[in-house]
Amino acid sequence: MYDLEEPRLIHEIKRRSAHRVLLQLPEGLKPLAAGLAERLQNATGSEVLVSGDPCYGACDLALQQKKQVKADLLIHVGHAEIPSESPGDQVVYVEARSDEKVVGPLAEALKLLKNEKNIGLAASVQHMHLLKSAKETLERAGKTVWIGRPSGRLLHEGQVLGCDYSTALSVASNVDAFLVIAGGDFHALGVSLATGKRTIVVDPYQQTVRDAAGLVDKILRQRYATILKFKETRKVGIIIGLKSGQANLTLARRLKTLLEETGKTCALVISTELVPQSIESFTDLEGFVEVACPRISIDDRSCYHKPMVNPEEALIAIGKKSWEDYGKHTEEAWDRTPAAADAAAP
Ligand code: SF4
């Protein structure tokens, strides 16, 4: 179950006298969309439309759709606001906190962490509210707990995002290991790569605990193989994601220059939705760099038959970043500041 904060939404719609509202949810929460739309409509008298397009993060706000249907308000469900890219008052965020508990998994995690004293805590946004009780549990077991302050794209203390692990990085020098509360392995993988620390993932949905080390080794081997294949390519497509918080033409242009200095030729390709079949239709291109979301090249790797790398991996392929620093943030590899987005305008 998720907290959709309906009383607050009703208040926000009424406060703005919104006649038309657009509701946007990620795939996992779309089953809740029709019911939520009906309840908001009945409670406020506003017309509530639901976006049917895929949605992956708060970088993917349906602002264009909002404009097209002349909605007064966009309600974006399932992600926290990205402070560095705030769209202002036209969007209301619902983080959709999960009511899953992690008492049992935390007890198991403590067994795995018996040799580590200083523990860094992090969570994805659906489970942020569990950090306080998790900290108390760890402290009762004699651990010293570190939770990083937010910066960049992150709103909350201890929050992690697939494209921003700065909270974990800010405390990494103090900790022996991280404990990440999140569904799936992706965030633990990111924390482990970014910090180089042992990382344990507590999954509230599966009620499981695991050490991310095995996964990290497997992904690293896959990424290294893909980077080697990309290194051999001569004609490359640099795909620039056009979602609201992704468009970074400045970074794409910088990559084009760097790649062409090594003898490759590059085409800049823009894409609102990165669909593998469309990308594969560029049969003359031998490989791709996606300047969109770092999850695409890793999560969706099996969808692409040609090497698909992210900007950091492209830099490693051409010797501008070392493989040993893979996952460590540098401005060159992943510059997503508002200034970069502004500069993306032609
Ligand atoms: S770029 Fe990717 S990881 Fe970052 S907010 Fe968007 S969907 Fe999430």
Q: Would you state the pLDDT for residue 295?
A: 82
pLDDT in tens, 224-261: 999 999 999 999 999 999 998 888 999 999 999 999 99
- C-alpha to C-alpha distance for 127 and 261, rounded to whole angstroms: 45
Q: How many whole angstroms from 79 Cα to the centroid of ligand 1? A: 10
Residue nearest to atom 4 of ligand 1 (CA): 163
pLDDT in tens, 20-31: 999 999 999 999
103 contacts: CB under 8 Å, gap ≥ 6:
137
329 band by pLDDT with thresholds 50, 70 and 90: low
pLDDT in tens, 47-56: 999 999 999 8
Residue nearest to atom 7 of ligand 1 (CA): 57
Q: Which of 130-139, 141-150, 160-169, 326-335 has the lowest mean pLDDT?
A: 326-335
Residues in the chain: 346
Q: How many whole angstroms from 124 Cα to the centroid of ligand 1? A: 12
**Residue of 27, 53, 55, 56 with the most ligand 1 atoms within 8 Å of its CB, for mutation:** 56
Residue 344 above 70 pLDDT? no
Closest CA to 312 of 186, 224, 180: 224
pTM, entire model? 0.91
Contact 293 CB / ligand 1 (< 6 Å):
yes
139-175 burial by CB neighbour count: b if 16+ within 10 A, else e?
eeeebebbbbebebbbbbbbbbbbbbbbbbbbbbeeb
End-to-end CA distance of the chain: 44
Residue nearest to atom 3 of ligand 1 (CA): 162
Identify the helix (H) or strand (E) that includes residue 266. strand 265-271
Contact 308 CB / ligand 1 (< 6 Å):
no
Contact 58 CB / ligand 1 (< 6 Å):
yes
Q: Would you state the pLDDT for residue 186?
A: 87
| Residue 284 burial (CB count, 10 A) | 7
Q: Is the dihedral of CA 52, 53, 58, 60 positive or negative?
A: negative
Residue 116: both structure tokens together: 């580590």
Q: Would you state the pLDDT for residue 342?
A: 42
pLDDT in tens, 261-293: 999 999 999 999 888 888 989 999 999 999 999
Q: Which of 39-43, 111-115, 339-343 has the lowest mean pLDDT?
A: 339-343
Between 276 and 206, residue with greater pLDDT: 206
Residue 67 above 60 pLDDT? yes
Residue nearest to atom 2 of ligand 1 (CA): 293
Give the nearest ligand 1 atom to 162 CA.
3
